[in-house]
Structure 1
């Protein structure tokens, strides 16, 4: 029983350290992005289309990454996953699909932001895309 607890403790420690490392990297990247966006706030205020785009692009990328992670983890559990980027393989096909979806949605968001920016009396903080 003592051996089982030792393996459990090592497994739990490794899991915590792995998760902690990922969270620290994510927190550092978010801090750098926030500092940068805070430093260019005046410039972003001059271009209302960018203020409309920023929240929606950040949200879009997170949603697409979540879908990609979900699909890849499902393929791992089903035993269909292999580290191969060729056409017809799960990893390569899903990465290509997420890239295509990202480009298409970014294009559509750009069109909506441009249309909203040219509306008379447009105030970026009242944008429905921001909510």
Structure 2
């Protein structure tokens, strides 16, 4: 299955819209594009496999794998990219500014409800990141 992330870049942060089968599941926030530098940049556009992950800090969440030159790119709750993210992706229910949103935990649960059952049964899930087509 493909999860599509359509991004819009700004100097203060990157905002996106996450779609599954053409329907919006949530919005996303990320750090600005800074040449894929670890911990200060969003990841490059492309197609990446998602996997299920668990940590004490974030509980059950998603990891984006296969990012060139990067590792531990997570999809986890956050409402302010510059203050709370180090290269990861945060789903949000509503965008409130560049790299800012609200109700992230709610949006993460909505995304996990779509993706986690598939991953648990062994179905591959790909995150495709791109900019809007003109």
Question: Over alpha carbons, which structure has the higher Rg?
Answer: 1
Determine if the TM-score, normalized by the shorter chain, exceeds 0.5. no
TM-score, length of structure 1 as denominator length = 0.24
Q: Which has the higher helix share?
A: 1
TM-score, length of structure 2 as denominator length = 0.24
